């Protein structure tokens, strides 16, 4: 019921419209009994009544009026139905629009951990299918329920005014119908929850397959992927059938009961007419309105079906709606300071769900220093730098920027002071220019070119068919790995932040290009503390200090020369990389 309150809250601004729609529904369906009533008058007065023939000649005016009334009410009802539907549509569409924006913002505001745990396909299902189901329910299911109930009650009241005993005879059928419907509802609910889950799996498979199509092709695994998809498709289809078939189990009972209304009416009603207890006109009114009682009963299953789907979807949306990120960015429009760029790790430990990956790490970086971070794969380098912009929070100790715990800094300001090129490069489907200027859309064109030059990207960009206006596909289709890295580097440089984090950003470029980039980084025209994760000694050699991570621990720290002197991990990497390259980097460093 809490979920219904949620709906009501979101109807704000459209509540009047929605209530109007509900009222119109009630009025429109109540009008349904007027025509059978007029019909009853016509039959009794002009067809089967005692003075029928006489009335037909004498009261022609009344007959015409009754007929006109019938037509008039039919038109009125049609007009009302039109208006009603329009109100439902408008109110529900407006609500949908509002909720969609809210959910989108909500998803944007989630932290990295949320994305670690939620599949894209599932989120997409919530944003599309589930939202639409909710709207459909607001507009159609509620409408059907309200109208069915109204017309049922109106017909029952009308029947009572004609003949209470006959009405009671008919209503004998109601309890068994409700019992059958209740059992059905209980049985079908878990099936719709299951169905909803399978749809989400189907979408997830599709989405992963599409975005991973190059991997699929590379491994010639199309058949396997098709099988995987077919499998999900079969499951979804089976879940659908199963839910639909349950209905078939109950359908015969409900249908039989619904038909029984007519049988009872024939038997009891016919008997009462013969007895003179009710007139033939009254019988015809019963007969004309019996559907108003049997149809809602008949539809009860379909309505229950839809309500179950509605709740299955609603609960999914509410999940996003009330999801609370641990790391909250309030986007407060404060005056954003420019930091100096001092970074301190103070006995930092950090864990994902799987366990602790950084243990008791302490080091300090002064403003303007260049720090290289090295370590075998999986040693925790990316995890370590992710703590600085607070993509994740530490589980022990603290990370300080400019002497302040990052958890106490305003998040927009903190992130606004960091330029980052992440390890897996993601470019948007936009022009190259747009991608480089992503962090600063106002960036003048000369500057875009300037930063592309620094990142050794200018040359290959100008060789592309449309230069900086070339549109790169989703995830940078049409670019090589090294080209993507260089655009990502330009993007990180272009924001000119006091802290620059490069996560393996030159791993895919050749040595010569890398040298150019090294030089650019040395000569940046803005003050900048640099954290550079790299595997090559040629990159790390010139750093002010090098940190070596191993299994989440900081095992070595010092300059190139210092680390070589202790003959540890760094020394081994150095020896390994310099064999056969002709000692490109001297053992004493280049400075």
The listed partner (ligand CTP, Mg ion, none) that binds 424, CB under 5 to 8 Å by sort, is: none
Binding flag, residue 382, Mg ion (CB under 5 A): yes
DSSP string, 366-406: -TT-EEEEEE-TTSSHHHHHHTTTTSS--SEEEEEETTEEG
Nearer to ligand CTP by Cβ, of 250 and 392: the residue is: 392
Closest of 427, 437, 520, 512 to residue 476, by C-alpha = 427
Binding flag, residue 513, Mg ion (CB under 5 A): no
Closest of 433, 418, 422 to residue 496, by C-alpha = 418
Instruction: Compose the 331-370 pattern: x for residues touching Mg ion by CB under 5 A, - for all others.
Output: ----------------------------------------
Contact with ligand CTP (CB under 6 A) among 50, 276, 377, 579: 377
CA 454/CA 339 separation, integer angstroms: 23
The listed partner (Mg ion, ligand CTP, none) that binds 377, CB under 5 to 8 Å by sort, is: ligand CTP
Binding flag, residue 540, ligand CTP (CB under 6 A): no
Nearer to ligand CTP by Cβ, of 381 and 484: the residue is: 381
The listed partner (ligand CTP, Mg ion, none) that binds 357, CB under 5 to 8 Å by sort, is: ligand CTP
Closest of 533, 516, 525 to residue 498, by C-alpha = 525
Measured CA angle at 223 (ends 221, 226), to 5 deg = 110
Binding flag, residue 397, ligand CTP (CB under 6 A): no
What does each C-alpha distance from 413 to 86, 325, 334, 417 come to in angstroms? Answer: 47, 18, 8, 6
Question: Which DSSP state fits 141?
Answer: I
Contact with ligand CTP (CB under 6 A) among 137, 382, 483, 538: 382
CA 215/CA 87 separation, integer angstroms: 49
Binding flag, residue 383, ligand CTP (CB under 6 A): yes
CB 119 within 8 A of CB 204: yes
What are the structure tokens assigned to 236, written together? Answer: 């979804």
The listed partner (Mg ion, ligand CTP, none) that binds 419, CB under 5 to 8 Å by sort, is: none
Nearer to Mg ion by Cβ, of 39 and 380: the residue is: 380
Contact with ligand CTP (CB under 6 A) among 28, 49, 375, 389: 375
Closest of 585, 451, 39 to residue 283, by C-alpha = 39
The listed partner (ligand CTP, Mg ion, none) that binds 378, CB under 5 to 8 Å by sort, is: ligand CTP
Nearer to ligand CTP by Cβ, of 57 and 377: the residue is: 377
Listed in sequence order, the residues at least 6 apart from 321 whose beta carbon sits closer than 8 Å to its beta carbon are: 6, 99, 102, 103, 106
Whole-number minimum distance, CB 535 to ligand CTP, in Å?
7
The listed partner (ligand CTP, Mg ion, none) that binds 276, CB under 5 to 8 Å by sort, is: none
CB 199 within 8 A of CB 129: yes
The listed partner (ligand CTP, Mg ion, none) that binds 448, CB under 5 to 8 Å by sort, is: none
Instruction: Compose the 418-447 pattern: x for residues touching ligand CTP by CB under 6 A, - for all others.
Output: -----x------------------------
Part of the chain binding ligand CTP (CB under 6 A), chosen from 330-338, 372-380, 429-437, 479-487: 372-380
The listed partner (ligand CTP, Mg ion, none) that binds 441, CB under 5 to 8 Å by sort, is: none
Site for ligand CTP in 444-463 (CB under 6 A): none
Part of the chain binding ligand CTP (CB under 6 A), chosen from 57-65, 311-319, 376-384, 481-489: 376-384
Phi, psi values for residue 457, rounded to 5°: -110, -20
Instruction: Compose the 87-116 pattern: x for residues touching ligand CTP by CB under 6 A, - for all others.
Output: -----------------------------x
Part of the chain binding ligand CTP (CB under 6 A), chosen from 137-145, 152-160, 370-378, 560-568: 370-378
Sheet holding 404-405, edge to edge: 355-365, 343-352, 396-401, 404-405
Binding flag, residue 352, ligand CTP (CB under 6 A): yes
Listed in sequence order, the residues at least 6 apart from 55 whose beta carbon sits closer than 8 Å to its beta carbon are: 45, 46, 49, 62, 63
Listed in sequence order, the residues at least 6 apart from 197 whose beta carbon sits closer than 8 Å to its beta carbon are: none
CB 246 within 8 A of CB 188: yes
Binding flag, residue 118, ligand CTP (CB under 6 A): no
Whole-number minimum distance, CB 366 to ligand CTP, in Å?
24
Question: Which DSSP state fits 338?
Answer: P
The listed partner (ligand CTP, Mg ion, none) that binds 375, CB under 5 to 8 Å by sort, is: ligand CTP
Contact with ligand CTP (CB under 6 A) among 162, 243, 357, 548: 357
- What's the first-to-final CA gap in the chain, in angstroms? 70
Binding flag, residue 182, ligand CTP (CB under 6 A): no
Nearer to ligand CTP by Cβ, of 381 and 530: the residue is: 381
Closest chain position to Mg ion (CB): 382
Part of the chain binding ligand CTP (CB under 6 A), chosen from 176-184, 352-360, 424-432, 524-532: 352-360
What are the structure tokens assigned to 394, written together? Answer: 């530490």
Rounded to 10 deg, the angle between the 280-321 and 60-108 helix axes is: 10
Q: Residue ranges of the alpha helices (H) in 212-279?
A: 213-218, 222-264, 270-275
Nearer to ligand CTP by Cβ, of 398 and 423: the residue is: 423
Length in residues, the chain: 591
Contact with Mg ion (CB under 5 A) among 423, 447, 559, 578: 423
Binding flag, residue 505, ligand CTP (CB under 6 A): no
3-class secondary-structure state, position 553: strand
Nearer to Mg ion by Cβ, of 107 and 555: the residue is: 555
The dihedral formed by the CA atoms of 538, 539, 544 and 549, expressed in degrees to the nearest 10: -100
Closest of 408, 412, 407 to residue 108, by C-alpha = 412
Part of the chain binding Mg ion (CB under 5 A), chosen from 276-284, 366-374, 410-418, 422-430: 422-430
CA 77/CA 70 separation, integer angstroms: 11
Total residues at interface with ligand CTP (CB under 6 A): 13
Whole-number minimum distance, CB 377 to ligand CTP, in Å?
3
User: Any idea which residue has 């919530």 for tokens?
Assistant: 126
Q: Which residues bind ligand CTP (CB under 6 A)?
A: 116, 352, 354, 357, 375, 377-383, 423
Q: Which residues bind Mg ion (CB under 5 A)?
A: 382, 423
């Amino acid at each position: 019921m809490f979920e219904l309150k949620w709906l009501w809250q979101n109807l704000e601004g459209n509540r009047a419209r929605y209530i109007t729609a509900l009222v119109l529904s009630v009025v429109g369906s109540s009008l349904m009994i007027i025509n059978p009533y007029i019909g009853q008058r016509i039959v009794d007065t002009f067809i089967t009544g005692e003075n029928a023939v006489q009335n037909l000649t004498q009261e022609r005016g009344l007959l015409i009026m009754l007929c006109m009334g019938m037509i008039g009410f039919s038109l009125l009802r049609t007009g009302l139905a039109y208006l009603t539907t329009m109100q439902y549509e408008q109110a529900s569409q407006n609500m949908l629009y509002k909720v969609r924006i809210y959910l989108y913002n909500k998803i944007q505001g989630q932290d990295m951990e949320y994305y670690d745990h939620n599949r894209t396909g599932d989120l997409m299902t919530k944003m599309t299918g589930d939202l639409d189901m909710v709207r459909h329910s607001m507009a159609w299911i509620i409408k059907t329920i309200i109208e069915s109930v109204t017309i049922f009650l109106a017909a029952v009241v009308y029947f009572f005014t004609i003949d209470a005993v006959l009405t009671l005879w008919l209503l004998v059928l109601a309890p068994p119908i409700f019992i059958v419907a209740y059992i059905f509802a209980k049985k079908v609910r878990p099936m719709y929850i299951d169905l909803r889950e399978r749809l989400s799996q189907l979408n997830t498979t599709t989405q992963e397959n599409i975005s991973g199509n190059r991997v699929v092709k590379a491994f010639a695994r199309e058949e396997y992927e098709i099988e995987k998809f077919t499998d999900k498709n079969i499951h979804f289809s089976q879940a659908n059938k199963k839910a639909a078939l349950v209905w078939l189990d109950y359908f015969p009972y409900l249908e039989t009961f619904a038909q029984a209304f007519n049988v009872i009416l024939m038997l009891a009603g016919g008997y009462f007419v013969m007895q003179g207890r009710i007139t033939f006109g009254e019988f015809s009114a019963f007969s004309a309105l019996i559907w108003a009682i049997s149809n809602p009963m008949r539809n009860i299953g379909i309505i229950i079906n839809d309500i179950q789907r509605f709740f299955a979807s609603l609960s999914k949306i509410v999940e996003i709606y009330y999801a609370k990120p641990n790391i909250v960015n309030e986007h407060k429009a404060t005056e954003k300071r420019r930091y100096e760029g001092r970074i301190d790790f103070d006995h930092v430990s950090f864990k994902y769900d799987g366990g602790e990956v950084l243990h008791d790490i302490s080091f300090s970086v002064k403003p303007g220093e260049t720090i290289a971070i090295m370590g075998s794969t999986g040693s925790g380098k990316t995890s370590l730098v992710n703590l600085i912009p607070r993509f994740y929070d530490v589980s022990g100790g603290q990370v300080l920027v400019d002497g302040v715990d990052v958890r106490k800094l305003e998040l927009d300001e903190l992130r606004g002071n960091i330029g980052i090129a992440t390890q897996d490069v993601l470019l948007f489907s936009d022009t190259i220019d747009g991608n480089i200027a992503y962090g600063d859309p106002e960036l003048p064109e000369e500057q875009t070119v300037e930063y592309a030059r620094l990142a050794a990207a200018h040359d290959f960009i100008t060789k592309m068919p449309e230069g900086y206006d070339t549109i790169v596909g989703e995830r940078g289709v049409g670019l090589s790995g090294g080209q993507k890295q260089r655009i990502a580097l330009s993007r990180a440089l272009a924001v000119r932040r006091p802290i620059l984090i490069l996560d393996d950003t030159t791993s895919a470029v050749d040595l010569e290009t890398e040298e150019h980039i090294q030089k650019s980084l040395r000569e940046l025209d803005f003050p900048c503390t640099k954290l550079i994760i790299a595997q090559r000694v040629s990159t790390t050699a010139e750093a002010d200090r090098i940190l070596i991570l191993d299994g989440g621990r900081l095992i070595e720290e010092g300059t190139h020369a210092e680390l070589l002197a202790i003959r540890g991990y760094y020394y081994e990497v150095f020896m390994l990389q310099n064999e056969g390259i002709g000692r490109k980097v001297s053992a004493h460093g280049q400075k």
